[in-house]
Structure 1
């Protein structure tokens, strides 16, 4: 492990720029739930055990049309959770290193930690759009508060409304089987990331907390590090790096980043 961490620190110090590619595991050390499999999801949300609902079933845009109080119960609870969560110290370290960010997370933790250049490939729970959608408008959810009954996990009271047509609003998150997601803001950030990568050929990539189930983040990390070979894969469960093109660090996010910071100084 010491050898891997030493090599990872060398890759970071020898690079001209740093890109962080983060999956859900990045937020676990901040206290955010691990949705890995039905068991992990139900441990975080025991109410859904009684209802027999899995994450994949709830994260479906059809509920905003067919059962909006169920849909907003799930996303309203998550919105409140993410607002109350304080990013762990690893976020601070990465920010001090001047890292750019690509993430599949929708929690806004990087922005809360001070990052401005964040490409959110699946959108953000902190922004809304129309369910229809009536336009391609996306707006902040800063003033949105959704009351949720803890027993039924359903939203109570008024639901968020579209600021253009007055109909129902939903989070600007790419869900399963989602044909109504407005991806313009995410695409703009992704295009800017492409330009960043083109401008920095000697790029080190820290991939953290990204599993194999949804390989979006892994693919981005491998693509971004293809030229330099400077990939640092931090993952306690699935840390293997293909063809020796990088360094495998089988640790959690906070522990690994803290150890790297000690070496870099």
Structure 2
């Protein structure tokens, strides 16, 4: 193990209540693209904005058409070695609570318990009118049945079940609908332009208060919902370590930074500590 790896082992051994914050870099080895390059610059077009999704049918059509094509690849993704090692480290009592900016559900599938999803879960859908909940797989069936011409489309995957696709005939695209009230369906995630729900924020802040250190894995921390915890940890004297390929918004606040992929670093950490 490298000197940085030895330092990470020592970091984990020194602290008994490490809060883990994971981001998109955690899941890239599972084939799910992230939003930013190693310099923190966003790739591609601006993602769907929450206020626009709720107001404009054209935005909803574009989102659901792309998601219809992109979701199957995300739903087929499996936890990688980093997810599995992280769950093992938690089970061994080496790491504490876990928060994630990811919406893919891979931490839970790898065996991590009590995962706080800051941005929701892409495998769930909610009706904006009657608040009924549905599985994303059920909505996928609706989409395929209503839009057979798009069912066989292939496109390059984009983050969070999106796809790099610009459908030509969105006027003819049929939106999914709530089977209870006919209302507007939205994936149960926090879109860009929307805030993290108050109860989730409250839970996250309590976890940060209870922790004695913070470990960031696979996040550039450009989005404030992640960066705020680094700032909170720093201001209260709690050390911060990170495993991330590329720079982060909080580099100057960290006591340890390892430029490596989680799928390589965490299994080694697990073998040393668990």
Scaled by the length of structure 2, the TM-score of the pair is 0.73
User: Distance in 2 between the 1:63 and 1:77 partners?
Assistant: 23
* CA-based RMSD: 3.3
- Residue of structure 1 in register with 2:225 after alignment: 216
Aligned to 1:48: none
* Residue 123 (structure 2) aligns with: 126
Question: Distance between the aligned counterparts of 1:137 and 1:150, measured in 2?
Answer: 31
Check whether the contact 2:19–2:207 (CA below 8 A) recurs between aligned residues.
no
Matched, 1:258 2:267: yes
Provide the residue aligned with 1:107 in structure 2.
Answer: 104
Residue matched to 1:166:
182
CA contact (8 A) 2:53 2:59 kept: no
Call closer, same or farther: CA 1:226–1:113 in 2, change over 3 Å.
Answer: farther
Q: Tell me how far 1:142 sits from its aligned partner.
A: 4.2
Distance 1:210 1:197 in 2: 17
CA 1:234–1:102: 2 relative to 1, 3 Å: same
The verdict on how the C-alpha distance between 1:262 and 1:221 changes in structure 2, with shifts beyond 3 A counting, is farther
The CA deviation at 1:25 is: 1.0
CA contact (8 A) 1:104 1:122 kept: yes
| Structure 1 position 163, deviation (Å) | 4.3
Mapped to 1, the partners of 2:226 and 2:108 lie a distance apart of 18
Q: Which has the higher contact order (CA 8 A, sep 6+)?
A: 2
Q: Of 188, 193, 199, which residue of structure 2 is paired with 1:188? A: 199
Show CA shifts across 1:152-184 (max 9, x none).
Answer: 654898643224421231212222334xx8x6x
Residue segments in structure 2 that go unaligned for 5+ positions in a row: 91-95, 145-149, 156-164
Q: How many residues align?
A: 244
Give, in angstroms, the shift of residue 87 of structure 1.
1.1
Partner residue in 1 for 2:160: none
Counterpart position of 1:22: 22
Partner SS for 1:144:
helix
**Any idea what SS the aligned residue of 2:47 has?**
helix
Q: Is the 8 A contact 2:88 2:270 kept in 1?
A: no
Contact 2:130 2:183 in 1 (8 A): no
How far, CA to CA, are the matches of 1:214 and 1:77 in structure 2?
Answer: 26
Q: Are 2:238 and 1:229 aligned?
A: yes
Q: Could you tell me whether the CA contact under 8 Å between 1:107 and 1:124 is conserved in 2?
A: yes
- 1 CA distance for matches of 2:116 and 2:32? 20
Q: 1:247 to 1:55 in 2, by over 3 A?
A: same
Query: Cα 1:87–1:228, aligned 2, differ >3 Å: closer, same or farther?
Result: farther
> Compared with structure 1, are the counterparts of its residues 170 and 235 closer, same or farther at alpha carbon in structure 2 (3 Å cutoff)?
same
